[in-house]
A and B are shown apart, each in its own frame.
Chain A
Amino acid sequence: MPDATTTTPAPLVPHVRRLSGLMLRERVVEGLLLLAAVFSIFITSGIVFILVNESRPFFRTVNPIEFLTGGEWTPQFADPKFGILPLVAGTLSTTLVALLVAMPVGTIIAIWLSEFAPAKVREVVKPLLELLAAVPTVVYGFFAITLVSPVMQQVYAWVISFFPSLKENYPELPLFNVLSAGIVMGLMIVPYVCSLSEDAMRAVPMILREGSFGMGANRTTTALRVVFPAAFSGVAAAYTLAISRAVGETMIVAIAAGNQPTLTANPLQPAQTITAFIVQASMGDLPHDDIGYQSIFAAGLTLFVMTLGFNLLGAALRRRYRQAY
């Protein structure tokens, strides 16, 4: 047997050996980090795969066209009907109420923070305002039924005293209703609207404001006629993300909107959203092969597609305002 040392290359000098060890470690670390980054794609694929795969048996029983156009959602009946429209109506009406609260309030606060407030005040106020988004939504649900809804009932009783025709059709506001749930949800999404719109408005170059002031405009005119239009695509991105947040919001509507899947857009009535249905169905123990179990995935798929649309729109708008300046 020949001497091994004569056939192999000369041993590496110590610091070179140390370097090759380092290079190996570099490779291993980079591989591990890449794996973690790729994992996020795995999550998305997991979501799409599970939603499609688990709702496939559902669409074998229920015709997809019937599902998308049907006006009755009665999964717990002996002869169940699966038309998603009542849930979509509930989702959109709570979202609409929430937006009617969050869009004006959020935008005005954003304009005030960006164009009027001193920097020190802004530093203090922004984190405080973000706390509104940090409150657990189940707590908001409790707030909606113990305080906001009773107050709204009083307000409603006062309002209809001026409108006799309303009084005949809807003598009183039920405790569980779209209006109260939507208002509370609106308060929750104010920070989402505000934070992103304020960023967009602050990204507007100072020179535009100076031009406006130079023409003799006051702060309000400058803010509303110059800064706001210039930042509009960013503000619109904030709105679409707020919509997506409202569409996907679950616990507030599960607690306060009444869980009644009726095909109506009337905010004075109880309703059920897609998310609230999923919660309601999950509270009972569903067997794996039951149509009820499959229906939550079909509902989830609908919700996912809706929010994905709004998210992509929001991302496109945001890219546009980033490029603008």
Chain B
Amino acid sequence: MRPIDHTIRRGQLQDLIFRVLGVSLLLLCLGTLGVLIFNLAHDGLSRLDLKFFSSFASRHADEAGIKAAWVGTALIMLVTALTAIPLGLAAGIYLEEYARKNWFTGLIEINIANLAGVPSIIYGLMALGLLVYKLNFGRSILSGGVTLAFLILPIVIVATREALRSIPQSMREAAYALGATRWQVIRHHLLPYSAGGISTGVIIALGRAIGETAPLITIGALTYIAFLPPAPFSMMDSGHRAGAFSWLMTDFTVLPIQMFNWVSMPGEDFQANAAAAGLVLMLATLGINAVAIGVRYRMRRRIKW
């Protein structure tokens, strides 16, 4: 055998070893995800029935459920979406389509990049000081929803900008040439073309918000809630009729906080409840991410510039 053959063999072996290493580490990570889900299912699947969704939390583990928690999570997500989507879209459109390059827009951009790296619990502290005490929103659904909206705002802005940036300049120029104003170009052309990209970003951002625990604990979300927020215009116990937005100002709990509460309790039964709540949370998160991947996939197939 010639010496060169020897070198080639060694190089090929080296490549093979690196391939095996890469694939096995990747499988280790994905396997962990699988084990994590299996672990939740193993501990919690037996607790997962209709009663679990329709009962409030309780001192007795086998009677406890996630009614207040899932309703709280749904309402918080509604407030978060309604706050973060318009704000994030508007800011993203401004920065990408209007802003001139000057120190001020530079400042806004650095600022957004930094906001994306601020730990979520810091947002909670800010909301506690500002929303709960200074603006007197209280420890309410409104406070919680707005806190999470602040948290995901950078993600929505970045997604909006990237979606707009991927539209070729010629599309804008064609519309301008026909006499459209800047807003007409955005409204009738850019937004429809970028809808897929923006929705992917928004959905991923909401998926992040749904699992957030720390900021909501900081603003003082309760761990034990045995009532639902009043439906608009419904009769309350006090004899008054609820206003259209009374639910915004009520105390709340959410799924991750309920799970955290059960995790901290001693005893196998509560651990099973925690696992069941975790399973619901995982299904919601994975579902949301699957939708985002689906939207992205369809968009890629449909639009080819």
Residues of A within 8 A of B (CB): 22-23, 25-26, 29-30, 32-41, 43-44, 46-47, 50-51, 53-54, 105, 108-109, 111-113, 116-117, 125, 127-132, 134-143, 145-147, 187, 190, 216-221, 223, 241, 244-245, 247-251, 254-255, 275, 278-279, 282-283, 285, 288, 296-297, 300, 303-304, 307-308, 310-312, 314-315
B122 touches A300 (CB 8 A): yes
In the assembly, what is the distance between CA of A30 and CA of B117, in Å? Answer: 28
**Quick one: closest B residue to A217, CB to CB?**
B11
Q: Give Cα A130 to B286, complex, Å.
A: 11
Measured between beta carbons, the chain B residues less than 8 angstroms from A34 are 94, 98
Chain B residues with CB below 8 A from A312, complex form? 114
23 A-B contacts, Cβ less than 8 Å apart?
A: A37-B99, A40-B91, A40-B112, A40-B154, A44-B111, A44-B115, A47-B118, A50-B130, A111-B18, A112-B19, A139-B211, A140-B36, A142-B263, A147-B35, A223-B18, A241-B117, A245-B117, A248-B119, A282-B128, A288-B133, A304-B118, A304-B122, A311-B118
Residues of B within 8 A of A53 (CB): 129
Any A CB within 8 A of the CB of B77:
no
In the assembled complex, the Cα of A241 lies from the Cα of B88 at a distance in Å of 23
Knowing that A47-B118, A135-B36, A249-B119 touch, tell me 5 more A-B residue pairs with CB under 8 angstroms: A37-B95, A37-B99, A51-B129, A112-B23, A146-B39
Give, as a whole number of angstroms, the nearest-CB distance from B70 to chain A. Answer: 14
Q: Could you tell me if B36 and A105 are in contact, using CB atoms closer than 8 angstroms?
A: no
* B 236-273 contacts with A by CB, 8 A: 256, 259-260, 263-264, 271
B213 at the A interface (CB under 8 A): yes
Asked whether, in the complex, the Cβ of B260 is within 8 Å of the Cβ of A146, the reply is: no
In the complex, A141→B275 CA distance in Å?
Answer: 11
Q: Is the CB of A285 within 8 A of B112?
A: no
Cβ 8 A contact of B40, one of A125, A131, A139: A139
List the A residue with the shortest CB-CB distance to B18. A220
- Say if the beta carbon of B120 comes within 8 Å of chain A: yes
| Contact in complex: A278, B183 (CB < 8 Å) | no
* Contact status B87-A129, CB under 8 Å: no
**Which of B29, B117, B120, B121 is within 8 Å of A314, CB to CB?**
B117
Say whether A136 contacts B210, CB under 8 Å. Answer: yes
One digit per residue, 1 when the CB lies within 8 angstroms of any chain A CB and 0 when it does not, for chain B 140-157 equals: 000000000010011001
List residues of chain B with CB within 8 A of the CB of A248. Answer: 118-122
From DSSP, what is the main secondary structure of chain A's interface residues?
helix
Q: Which of B26, B43, B259 has the most CB of A within 10 A?
A: B26
User: How many Å lie between the Cα of A312 and that of B113 in the bound state?
Assistant: 9
Assess A108 versus B39: contact at CB under 8 Å? Given A34-B94, A134-B208, A136-B256. no
- A54 to B130 Cα, complex, angstroms: 10
Smallest beta-carbon distance A237→chain B, Å? 11
- CA of A282 to CA of B93, assembled, Å: 37
Contact A132 B122 (CB under 8 A): no
Q: Are B26 and A36 in contact, CB atoms less than 8 angstroms apart?
A: no
Nearest Cβ in chain A — how far from B89, in angstroms? 8
Could you say which of A30, A46, A142 contacts B98, with CB atoms under 8 Å apart? A30
Residue of A with least CB distance to B7: A216
Binds A, one of B50-58, B191-199, B214-222: B214-222
Count of CB-CB pairs between chains A and B under 8 Å: 269
Is the CB of B175 closer than 8 A to any CB of chain A? no
Q: Given the interface contacts A142-B40, A221-B14, does A136 sit within 8 Å of B220 by beta carbon?
A: no
Cβ of B167 within 8 Å of any chain A Cβ, yes or no, is no
CB atoms of B117 and A112 under 8 A apart: no
Assess the B29–A278 pair: CB atoms within 8 A: no
Q: Which of B59-67, B227-235, B277-285 contacts A (4 or more CB under 8 A)?
A: B277-285
Contacts A43-B153, A51-B125; A112 near B263 (Cβ below 8 A)? no
Binding site for A on B (CB under 8 A): 7, 11-12, 14-15, 17-19, 21-23, 25-26, 28-30, 32-33, 35-36, 39-40, 43, 86-91, 93-95, 98-99, 105, 107-108, 110-115, 117-126, 128-130, 133-134, 150, 153-154, 157, 181-183, 204, 207-208, 210-214, 217-218, 220, 223, 256, 259-260, 263-264, 271, 274-275, 278, 281-282, 285-286, 289, 293
Whether A131 and B33, one on each chain, are in contact in the complex, defined by CB atoms closer than 8 angstroms, is yes
A142 near B115: Cβ-Cβ < 8 Å: no
CA of A112 to CA of B17, assembled, Å: 11
Given contacts A33-B91, A125-B26, A218-B12, A40 and B281 within 8 Å (CB-CB): no
Highest count of chain A CB atoms <10 Å: which of B86, B123, B129, B153: B129
B289 contacts across to A, CB distance below 8 A: 127, 130-131, 134
Complex Cα gap A315–B289 (Å): 27
CA A1 to CA B40, docked complex, whole Å: 86
Q: How far is the CA of A249 from the CA of B156 in the complex (A)?
A: 21
Complex Cα distance, B214 from A154, in Å, reads 31
Contacts of A51 in B (CB 8 A): 122, 125-126, 129
* Distance from B210 Cβ to chain A, minimum over Cβ atoms (Å): 7
Q: What are the residues of chain B within 8 A of A315 when measuring CB–CB?
A: 110, 113-114
Contacts of B115 in A (CB 8 A): 40, 43-44
- Which residues of chain A come closer than 8 Å to B110, judged between CB atoms? 315
User: Bound complex: CA of A303 vs CA of B14, how far in Å?
Assistant: 43
Q: How far is the CA of A94 from the CA of B25 in the complex (A)?
A: 21
Question: Do A251 and B111 form a contact, CB below 8 Å, given A40-B157, A146-B39?
Answer: no
Do residues A250 and B90 form an inter-chain contact, with CB atoms below 8 A?
A: no
Smallest CB–CB gap between B119 and chain A, Å?
Answer: 2
Question: CA separation between A91 and B30, bound complex, in Å?
Answer: 27
